[in-house]
Structure 1
Amino acid sequence: MKTLTSLGLLLAFGGAQAAPQTVDCGRLLDVKAGVWRERVSITVDNGVVKSIAPMSAAAGNIDLSAYSCLPGFIDMHVHLTGETRKEAEALRAALTHNPADTAYRSVPYAERTLKAGFTTVRDLGAGDMLNVALKQAIASGAIPGPRMFTSGKTIATTGGHGDGSNGLSTTFGRAVGAEGPDRGVINSAEQGRQAVRARYKEGADLIKVTATGGVLSQARNGQDAQFTDDELRAIVSTAKDYGFRVAAHAHGAEGVKRALRAGVDSIEHGTLMDDEAIALFKKHGAWYVPTISAGRYVADKAKEDGYYSALVRPKAAAIGPLIQATLGRAHKAGVKIAFGTDAGVFPHGDNAREFAYMVEAGMPPLEAIRSATLSAAALLDQSSNLGSVEPGFAADIVAVSGDPLRDISVLQQVKFVMKAGVVYKQP
């Protein structure tokens, strides 16, 4: 990731600093050791965990003695500046909403996500610099929300998944403007380099490319490869020059493999990956971010008349149901997996359902939790700051009733949320 300056550290981890306090936990999950620490007190100062000791139960402490505490969760694939809606409603919004309208509507999405226990997210695509602005508003303390790492505008090819003019008439397509590198639409290796530099200029933290077609774009195919090898190599090599990691949306096997050979850091969705793709994941050390929740949601909505357009509906019905089984294969093969949901494709705040879907696919509960803590932090290059409750780490703490190692569904009912020492939700 880009080197964080003092201002960058404030924006990534800061906002107003909380007063020193102590949190008493009935038990705390040590995600590294995979064991519960019983009856502990966590001392927090200046937004950071200072110490963990046997429970003191002193007056003034935050009393979570009846709860199980865990690190705040990290969702590696969200879109906080939008949310699913029926086709007719989406079209009306596209024609009538200005960027300011979209920005205001994103505020409750961010708060719902935080209060669901997700203290950090990776936002993978929004136009008009909306996700960059939302990140800065949250970091300054102006609005509540998770800590954000953003890709700015997705990089796509003409007509590809992420081209904002797809499906529009020529009149409205012209109104969108001549798509080009500044707007994240490229058609050559050189334009790919320009698009990366444009994301750097607008304040992105990473790069996202749409290596294949997508489910919800107004285009015929949801799985075809949409970048040439030289375009992908140019984007990845330029991204590395700027300290960016690269996430690649990809459903079809050929697009997955091209992206992995080019050196991307993560594949999002990966629905139709084959054995060769799995071998490339392991060869290159890339991460897989499954987004089962989105797949399940679009498959269900494809059965509802009028929810998706005639172009989208068959793709949602065909691709959506496959992601969960793909995760099971990838996990069994030893591919590195980081938690991600594609929230926005389904309602924000329901992110924790992904844990149950991962367990259904064959991941043990502890591994599912690690995917949203230690693994996600590693993919963010934040392993020394996030993903664990221990001295020196950001004071991101959530609490639930019950034992998620026995019943993963309890993570869908978070009772307490602290981010960087600030309490946003409590019993």
Structure 2
Amino acid sequence: MGRLVLTGANLLDGVNPAAADRAVVVEDGRIAEVAASSAVVPRDGDRVVDLSGKTVMPGMFTCHFHATYHELGSRPNVPYGNEYPPSYQALIAAKNLRTALEHGYTGVVGAGASNEVEGGVKRAIEDGLIPGPRFWPSGRELSTTGHANDGVPWHWGMPAPGAVRLCDGADGFRIGVREEIKRGAEVIKLFVTGGHGTTAPKDRIEMTRDELAAAIETAHSRGALIRAHLVNKPAIMMALDLGIDIVDHCDEMDDEVVAALVETGAFVVPSLHFPKHFLELMGDGLGFAADAIRADLAHMYEEIPKAQAAGVKFVLGDDYGAIGFAHGMYGREFRLYTEHAGVSPLEVIGWATVNGAQLARRGHDLGSVEVGKLADLVVLDRDPSVDVSVLVDGTPRAVLKGGEVVHGQLGD
């Protein structure tokens, strides 16, 4: 089989500013050559596609993904995570993951899901049964009895909700982490604090230091990533000290937190799109909570550029699938962070590409357009480093995974 030769492209390699009139050669699913278009000589049997006027960039990562969520919160009297049967949730997950792929997200990292379905859906993708991105599945969220998401009405003897696993004490968390990994989780999700969309106040810490230490140590001993819902500063600092891999939200980020993030190398998913969207949707109907959300957003808009300059590793992702916040709205994060937080488009593209691949421990073969890496590519009609709206409105012209077109088309 011949090679795929993309010529005349405006190339965003994930690291550098755009380079005009570049060629990318794909062979056996990997990038075989990146050079000026004039320097690439096609061979017999090659498929040559002229992409003049188009931009090629790496496949993107969304790193806070709830595959089983669909209008979560719209059925308040049903236990959290058991809104649908597990078999139905697997179909929801398959649909949501395909949506991410079609929007150019060739890598997806889980952040909590119901009833242990994500591991099976990953296998279905890898076996070619269904289309989907490269996927790092999660499982039930872990936290203690009575934590923020353990407050739904009980159904008289019904077991714990399908999206939650309750653990108490260090040994309880060791068992919980091991069980979730046994059932397919590659990413462990913890709820360490309230705040940021939960019913518990943000200053509440839901886990003890011993419990958190046990969870992190056990996940790492089994080769899993571990992330946590972390809002208040004391809990953030405790988790960073203990070796957490991913900080979800990080609402009380300040100079001391930034220094700790840089020192430890932990990744941050600010996930500001959901609270901003919810505020715009509900406005003053949220009562006193509206002012609190506005204050949190203003604080993070100010802190993120400073943290970016200091070297904090940010990634994209949010609570898509929550009520009124559908999967497929992912691209609006680019507009939020560029227009409101003042981060440059090229920097946010780096969050979605290089940083995402590093978080997934695949920086050696994903996240940038370089020789030897897997050919996960996105083809766009315009340059997103100049006009991010091309990533916000609609889907890309084409999405390639391992050199195969999985969405759209390369030619006219």
Normalised by the size of structure 2, how large is the TM-score?
0.86
Report matched runs for 1:25-36 at 5 Å: 25-32=8-15, 34-36=16-18
Is residue 285 of structure 1 aligned with residue 268 of structure 2?
Answer: no
TM superposition shift of 1:278: 2.5
Q: Which residue in the other structure is 1:139 paired with?
A: 126
Alignment gaps of 5+ in structure 1 = 1-17
AA paired with 1:253?
Answer: K
Note the alpha carbon deviations across 1:207-232, whole angstroms, 9 max, x for none.
22111124444x34244211111111
Retained in 2: the 8 A contact 1:222–1:315? no
Please tell me whether the aligned partners of residues 9 and 20 of structure 2 are also in contact (alpha carbons under 8 angstroms): yes
Is 1:299 paired with 2:284? no
**Residue of structure 2 equivalent to 1:110:** 97
Closer, same or farther in 2 for the Cα pair 1:57/1:87, shift >3 Å? farther
Counterpart of 1:8 in structure 2 is none
Would the alpha carbon gap of residues 289 and 183 (structure 1) be closer, same or farther in structure 2, given more than 3 Å must change? closer
Hey, what does 2:54 align to over in structure 1? 67
1:24 aligned onto 2:7: yes
Q: Deviations over 1:100-142 (max 9, x none)?
A: 1222223322222111111101011112111212222222222
What's the Cα RMSD here? 3.1
Counterpart contact for 1:20–1:43, Cα < 8 Å? yes
Deviation string 1:287-331 (CA, Å, 9 cap, x unpaired) is 2111121221222334396xx9x9998986775675444434532
What do the CA deviations read for 1:179-237 (whole angstroms, capped 9, x no partner)?
A: 9xx963211111111112112211221222111124444x3424421111111111111
Other-structure match for 2:19: 37
Superposition pairs of residues 237-316 of structure 1, within 5 angstroms? 237-303=217-283
Distance 1:25 1:297, change over 3 A: farther
What's the CA shift for 1:87? 2.7
Map of 1:80 onto structure 2: 67
Structure 2 CA distance for partners of 1:57 and 1:304, relative to 1, 3 Å:
farther
Q: Is 1:349 the equivalent of 2:331?
A: no
1:316-331 aligned at under 5 Å gives the runs 323-331=300-308
Contact 2:67 2:92 in 1 (8 A): no
Q: Could you tell me which amino acid in structure 1 is paired with residue 210 of structure 2?
A: D
Query: Residues 206 and 108 (structure 1 numbering): CA distance in 2 closer, same or farther, change over 3 Å?
Result: closer
Please say if residues 75 and 83 of structure 2, whose CA atoms lie closer than 8 Å, have aligned partners that are also in contact.
no
1:154-195 residue CA offsets vs partner (Å, 9 max, x unmatched): 2211122454xx311351xx213499xx96321111111111
**What is the percentage of aligned positions where both structures have the same residue?**
30
User: Which residue identity does 1:425 align to in structure 2?
Assistant: H
Task: Give the letter for the 1:202 counterpart.
Answer: R
Size of the alignment, in residue pairs? 399
Give the secondary structure class of the aligned counterpart of 1:373. helix
Out of 318, 333, 339, the residue aligned to residue 316 of structure 2 is: 339
Call closer, same or farther: CA 1:94–1:74 in 2, change over 3 Å. closer
Asked if 1 retains the 8 angstrom alpha-carbon contact of 2:89 and 2:114, the reply is no
Q: Provide closer, same or farther for how the CA distance between residues 332 and 410 of structure 1 changes in structure 2, counting only shifts above 3 A.
A: same
Q: 1:375 aligns with which of 329, 351, 355?
A: 355
SS of the aligned residue for 1:327 comes to helix
Partner residue in 2 for 1:196: 177
Contact kept, 8 Å, 1:76 with 1:340, in 2: the verdict is yes
What do residues 358-400 of structure 1 show as CA deviations (whole Å, max 9, x unaligned)?
A: 2120212211111111111112111111101122211111011
Pairing of 1:151-230 with structure 2 (within 5 A): 151-163=138-150, 166-171=151-156, 174-177=157-160, 184-217=165-198, 219-230=199-210
8 Å CA contact 2:21, 2:36 repeated in 1 = yes
List alignment gaps of at least 5 residues for structure 2: none
Cα offsets for 1:56-87 (capped at 9, x unmatched): 69684344323111001111111121133563
Inter-CA distance 206–86: structure 2 relative to 1 (3 Å threshold) = closer
Q: Which residue of 2 aligns with 1:400?
A: 380
* 3-state SS in 1 of match to 2:252: coil
Partner of 2:399: 417
Q: What is the TM-score when the length of structure 1 is the normalising length?
A: 0.83
Of residues 228-237 and 41-50 in structure 1, the stretch that sits farther from structure 2 once superposed is 41-50
Secondary structure of 1:372's counterpart equals helix
3-state SS in 2 of match to 1:76: strand
> Could you tell me whether the CA contact under 8 Å between 2:110 and 2:187 is conserved in 1?
no
Deviation at 1:95, TM superposition (A): 6.7
The one-letter amino acid paired with 1:198 is E
C-alpha displacement at 1:151, in angstroms?
2.2
Q: Which secondary structure does the structure 2 equivalent of 1:154 belong to?
A: strand
CA distance in 2, matches of 1:320, 1:280: 21
Deviation per CA, 1:20-61: give whole Å up to 9, x if none.
5333352211223x1333323322233222222443696843
